[in-house]
Amino acid sequence: MKKTFFNLIQEVQKEGKCNHCGGCVTFCSAISYDALSMDDHGKPFFNDINKCNECGLCYTICPQTHELDEEIKQNAQWEEPIGHTINFTVTRANDPVIRQKGTDGGVVTAILSHLFDTGKIDGAIVSMPTPHGRVPFLAKSTKEILDSAGSHFGDSQGMYQFSKDYDTFSPSIKALSELKASPMDRLAFVGTPCQINTIRKMQALNIVPSDSISLCLGLFCSGNYFFHDKSFANLEEKYQFKYTDVETINVKDNFIFTMKSGKQVFIPVPELRPVRRPACDFCEDFSAEYADISFGGLGAEHGWTTAIIRTPQGRNVFEDALENVLTSFRLEDNPKYITHAEKKIFDVSRQKKELFEQNQMNRNKEVSLAQ
Ligand SMILES: Cc1cc2nc3c(=O)[nH]c(=O)nc-3n(C[C@H](O)[C@H](O)[C@H](O)COP(=O)(O)OP(=O)(O)OC[C@H]3O[C@@H](n4cnc5c(N)ncnc54)[C@H](O)[C@@H]3O)c2cc1C
Ligand code: SF4
Ligand code: SF4
Ligand code: SF4
């Protein structure tokens, strides 16, 4: 008998491994089975169990079931230690407005805008800031792509919204469901490694709506964090800052909280583990190993983005962007710069995989003790 969403509840949700990627709901909705929905926190649930025809595909494409892992590895020509890589670069957007709006160098936004302006994509699935936090969004204009950039917030926005921007994982895949109403077949998708993983599984099975995605842009990811969690107060006390004063957050070797006053607070990433989504303990992908291009702040100076080009298609897109809308880091100042960046990414990726193995082993022990 095929495993269904019922098994995802037992094996993934109840085990605290659901990372709210949205893949299960997206497929079920896109094919109009409509058995599943997502609550306001991104948790999927049986909306109408009678509509479930037990196709089993939500189970197969869930990144936490590890089904199809071998297929997607083969398709991506995955190799140790961090997947297939063609090139590492550090760049930033030429446009100062995009740089100002972007999280790091505004590179993701510059690439998306360029692809859209040159007619190479019909739209992009991004994460849009709204007064109620970030929401998955199908951007269909340059303005919408720009509006979805980075993490800068005006003074008028309350801290509640601000915290939601960071603590609410944006189940971006869900925006694909909108395609039912407006068919498009050349979309770029921006997402965290778990979301890219689900998209690649859908593509391996050739199921809707993943056939619309022509480019996957992945974000490095150490986790999804709850900054309004009570235990964050311990960090505020230890590092002498107030979350309500924070204007921007960047993740590099440390979390960098920049206050409205310009003061910066650096907190080592592992110290934020108590406020990290527990499902992220069961994730082994830091650098979006299945993306066409992966992006992060790690390895780059402030205001720049590190990118890993992974596929020939990613290389074409990046080279075109580099000629038109991006600037390379001044490598002549330090020819070993990229090697250092690469090493950092390898180290953080290895640590994440080791933690995953450890957590998985502990969980298996707990289960066998309980039996
Ligand atoms: C949850 C999370 C954790 C991260 N952790 C790390 C880390 O540990 N180390 C590191 O080096 N980098 C990390 N990053 C990546 C980093 O913060 C930047 O997104 C990346 O460097 C690209 O910067 P940019 O200025 O080029 O992108 P921008 O031009 O600012 O574009 C960012 C794009 O990402 C989209 N986006 C924003 N938030 C989300 C989201 N939650 N889900 C899906 N799409 C989203 C935006 O809509 C936009 O299209 C993380 C990102 C996220 C979302
Ligand atoms: S119809 Fe298929 S995708 Fe939808 S819940 Fe049932 S098994 Fe999952
Ligand atoms: S597909 Fe994603 S949202 Fe659905 S159960 Fe798996 S991890 Fe959770
Ligand atoms: S660490 Fe990032 S990619 Fe992994 S499950 Fe958490 S949010 Fe998803």
Domain residue extents for the chain: 77-221+287-370, 225-276
Nearest atom of ligand 3 to the alpha carbon of 8: 5
Q: From the CA of 22, which ligand is nearest?
A: 3
Ligand 2 neighbourhood includes 170 CB (under 6 angstroms): no
- The full 3-state SS of 159-180, as one line of letters, equals HHHHHHHHHCCCCHHHHHHHHH
**Is the CB of residue 70 less than 8 Å from the CB of residue 87?**
no
pLDDT for res 322: 97
What confidence tens digit (pLDDT) does each residue in 181-214 have? 455 678 999 999 999 999 999 999 998 888 889 9
Ligand 4 neighbourhood includes 283 CB (under 6 angstroms): yes
pLDDT for 79 beyond 50: yes
Nearest atom of ligand 4 to the alpha carbon of 288: 3
Question: Which CA distances in Å does 193 have to 4, 164, 182, 269?
Answer: 23, 20, 26, 18
Lowest-pLDDT range of 76-80, 93-97, 260-264, 275-279: 275-279
CB neighbours of residue 77 within 10 Å: 10
Q: Whose CA is nearest to atom 1 of ligand 2?
A: 52
Q: Which two tokens stand for residue 272?
A: 């934020």
Instruction: Please indicate, yes or no, whether the overall pTM of this predicted structure exceeds 0.75.
Output: yes
What confidence tens digit (pLDDT) does each residue in 165-182 have? 333 345 555 666 655 545
Q: Whose CA is nearest to atom 16 of ligand 1?
A: 296
**Which one has a higher pLDDT value, 11 or 169?**
11
Average pLDDT over every residue of 133-153: 82
**Which one has a higher pLDDT value, 62 or 227?**
62
Ligand 4 neighbourhood includes 291 CB (under 6 angstroms): no
- The full 3-state SS of the chain, as one line of letters, equals CCCCHHHHHHHHHCCCCCCCCCHHHHHHHHCCCCCEEECCCCCEEECCHHHCCCCCHHHHHCCCCCCCHHHHHHHCCCCCCCCCCCEEEEEEECCHHHHHHCCCCCHHHHHHHHHHHCCCCCEEEEEEEECCEEEEEEECCHHHHHHCCCCCCCCCCCHHHHHHHHHCCCCHHHHHHHHHCCCCCCEEEEECHHHHHHHHHHHHHCCCCHHHEEEEEEECCCCCECCCCCCHHHHHHHHCCCHHHEEEEEECCEEEEEECCCCEEEEEHHHHHHHECHHHHHCCCCCCCCCCEEEECCCCCCCCEEEEECCHHHHHHHHHHHHHCEEECCHHHCCCHHHHHHHHHHHHHHHHHHHHHHHHHHHHHHHHHHC
pLDDT for res 155: 27
Ligand 2 neighbourhood includes 295 CB (under 6 angstroms): no
pLDDT for res 365: 87
| The CA-based dihedral angle spanning residues 110, 220, 177, 125, taken in that order and rounded to the nearest 10 degrees | 0
What confidence tens digit (pLDDT) does each residue in 298-321 have? 999 999 999 999 999 999 999 999
Average pLDDT over every residue of 159-170: 35
Q: Identify whether 81 is preceded by a cis peptide bond (ω within 30 of 0).
A: yes
- Location of structure tokens 């993490």: 151
**Is the CB of residue 306 less than 8 Å from the CB of residue 295?**
yes
Nearest atom of ligand 4 to the alpha carbon of 193: 3
Ligand 1 centroid–CA 4 distance in Å is 31
pLDDT confidence bin for 371, thresholds 50/70/90 = confident
pLDDT for res 162: 29
- Pocket test of ligand 4: the residue of 277, 348, 355 to mutate, having most ligand atoms within 8 Å of its CB, is 277
Q: Which two tokens stand for residue 208?
A: 């809707």
pLDDT for res 182: 55
Q: Residues lining ligand 1, judged by CB closer than 6 Å?
A: 102-109, 126-127, 134, 148-150, 169-170, 172, 190-192, 219-222, 224, 251-252, 295-298, 305
| The CA-based dihedral angle spanning residues 161, 163, 166, 168, taken in that order and rounded to the nearest 10 degrees | -70
Ligand 1 centroid–CA 355 distance in Å is 22
What confidence tens digit (pLDDT) does each residue in 257-293 have? 999 999 999 999 999 999 888 999 999 999 999 999 9
